[in-house]
Amino acid sequence: MTFESPDIPNHKGFAAPVLPNGELASSASAFTKTFIGYQATCSCGWADRRRFPATPEGAKEAEYRWWSRHVPPLAAAAPPVELVIKSNLLCERIVQLAGERPLAALTLLSQVESWQRTLLDQAVAGAKEAGATWAEVGEAIGISKQAAHERFRAATTAPLEE
């Protein structure tokens, strides 16, 4: 049985059966083999360390662990779905505009870039104030922690406006 959240794409959790040798079985093979318990796992490769009994309650506990241990940090970092949809639509429309009216697309992209830089600095500063590490900041924007620190350290040390 898999479980997933629509707000966190590319993550499907499941209570993986644990075989007697300690290896995790796929759900399909669990029906043909004896297993000794369950362990919470995710399609991204995450696996909880704790194992639960081979009972319906154990399966529910493994599911709960996925929801309570793995999902919260992912949900905190996931942008709202409606904004992702709007962002994707904006991108598609700008691609279309660039083909039809390239100068208009350039003007629009210049405007987007100017407010995007300011918003990115503000978001990084807010993430750091909330306790995010440079590794987490870098991961969120697709760069290394060193690159994130080098690029944004000035934005996080600047005095806040009152």
Residues 88 and 119 occupy one common structural domain:
yes
pLDDT given at position 32: 52
Residue 162 lies in a domain: no
Give the pLDDT of the chain (162 residues) as one tens digit per residue.
788 887 787 889 989 999 888 888 865 554 556 889 999 999 999 999 999 999 999 999 999 999 999 998 888 888 888 898 999 999 999 999 999 999 999 999 999 999 999 999 999 999 999 999 999 899 888 899 999 999 999 888 755 444
Same domain assignment for residues 6 and 63: yes
The one-letter amino acid at 13: G
Domain boundary among 53, 77, 101: 77
Task: Point out which residues pair with 39 in neighbouring strands.
Answer: 16, 51
Same domain? 87 vs 147: yes
> With 0-12 CB in 10 A as exposed, 13-18 as middle and 19+ as buried, what is 49?
exposed
Q: How far apart are CA 95 and CA 142, in angstroms?
A: 22
Domain span at residue 146 reads: 81-157
Task: Clarify whether residues 94 and 143 are in a common domain.
Answer: yes
Q: Which of 63, 27, 29, 35 is nearest to 48 (CA)?
A: 63
- For residue 82, the surrounding DSSP H or E stretch is helix 81-100
pLDDT of amino acid 137? 93
DSSP 85-119: HHHHHHHHHHHHHHHH-HHHHHHHHHHHHHHHHHH
CA dist., res. 96 & res. 108, Å (int): 13
Give the pLDDT score at 90.
96
CB contact at 8 A, 33 and 19? yes
Q: CA of 118: how far to CAs of 80, 139, 143, 155, in Å?
A: 20, 19, 18, 10
What is the model's pLDDT at position 86?
95
pLDDT for 31? 52
